[in-house]
A and B are shown apart, each in its own frame.
Chain A
Amino acid sequence: AQSVTQLGSHVSVSEGALVLLRCNYSSSVPPYLFWYVQYPNQGLQLLLKYTTGATLVKGINGFEAEFKKSETSFHLTKPSAHMSDAAEYFCAVNPLEGGGFKTIFGAGTRLFVKA
């Protein structure tokens, strides 16, 4: 069965420091991979996605993620954290089975940014 594991339910960084949010997945075939961000009292919005091709994908707000098939990972990074990055981040996988209707979400990682 497909699953998504986000390591660390909470991550705290200082403003200006590197942001690294970890995501590992299990899937029998290469899936489509996503990162979503959820700001307080809002819905989720797409940060970036990997479908095929270049394994390093860039998203909004300076975030990027790298698909590593051998490690079944899709970690999210940002070189320099801003206070406005404080939010909940969700890694998600679409295994593309049965029409690609189902997306499986990780449990989320709350990012705290200290001044």
Chain B
Amino acid sequence: DTAVSQTPKYLVTQMGNDKSIKCEQNLGHDTMYWYKQDSKKFLKIMFSYNNKELIINETVPNRFSPKSPDKAHLNLHINSLELGDSAVYFCASSRPREGVTEQFFGPGTRLTVL
């Protein structure tokens, strides 16, 4: 069973389009994250939700909107895509209040904006 899954794995789209990436975890964790990894492998936190509540919101354009329908899911919607949005997006989960501070990552979604 996949612990943290993301769909789609690859996403190729035109500038100006709107797209969504979905993430699901079956680990029973209560905290989920979105990271952006650029071409130089630098990993940047974007958002984090704990029990469906937004707790981390780094300096991210408001074209990016996360949504957490329940503790096991965290989706990322991106409006008006730009060339600079091309990157690999990773979802992750953890359970820090129960001592599970390490993060479990999904396989990533490679977004290419043309």
A88 within 8 A of B: yes
Assess whether B97 is in contact with A100, with CB atoms less than 8 Å apart: yes
Q: What distance in Å separates the Cβ of B50 from its nearest Cβ neighbour in chain A? A: 6
A24 within 8 A of B: no
Assess whether B105 is in contact with A32, with CB atoms less than 8 Å apart: no
Assess whether B43 is in contact with A32, with CB atoms less than 8 Å apart: no
Q: Pick the most buried of B40, B41, B56: most chain A CB atoms within 10 A of its CB.
A: B41
Chain B proximity mask over A57-91: 1 for CB below 8 Å, otherwise 0: 00000000000000000000000000000001010
Q: What distance in Å separates the Cβ of B94 from its nearest Cβ neighbour in chain A? A: 8
Q: What distance in Å separates the Cβ of B47 from its nearest Cβ neighbour in chain A? A: 11
Contacts of A108 in B (CB 8 A): 41-43
Assess whether B42 is in contact with A100, with CB atoms less than 8 Å apart: no
Q: Pick the most buried of A43, A88, A108: most chain B CB atoms within 10 A of its CB.
A: A43
Assess whether A101 is in contact with B41, with CB atoms less than 8 Å apart: no
A110 within 8 A of B: yes
Chain A proximity mask over B35-59: 1 for CB below 8 Å, otherwise 0: 0000011110100101000011000
**Chain B residue, CB-CB nearest to A106:** B43
Interface size on B, residues (CB 8 A): 25
Chain A proximity mask over B68-112: 1 for CB below 8 Å, otherwise 0: 000000000000000000000010101011010111111110000
Assess whether A43 is in contact with B101, with CB atoms less than 8 Å apart: no
What is the size category of the interface that chain A forms with chain B? 20 to 34
Assess whether B4 is in contact with A100, with CB atoms less than 8 Å apart: no
A44 to B103, CA, bound (A): 9
Contacts of A46 in B (CB 8 A): 102-104
A88 to B105, CA, bound (A): 15
Known: A42-B107, A100-B97, A103-B45. 5 other contacts (CB 8 A): A36-B105, A44-B43, A90-B43, A94-B96, A101-B94
Chain B residues within 8 Å of A, Cβ to Cβ: 4, 31, 40-43, 45, 48, 50, 55-56, 90, 92, 94, 96-97, 99, 101-108
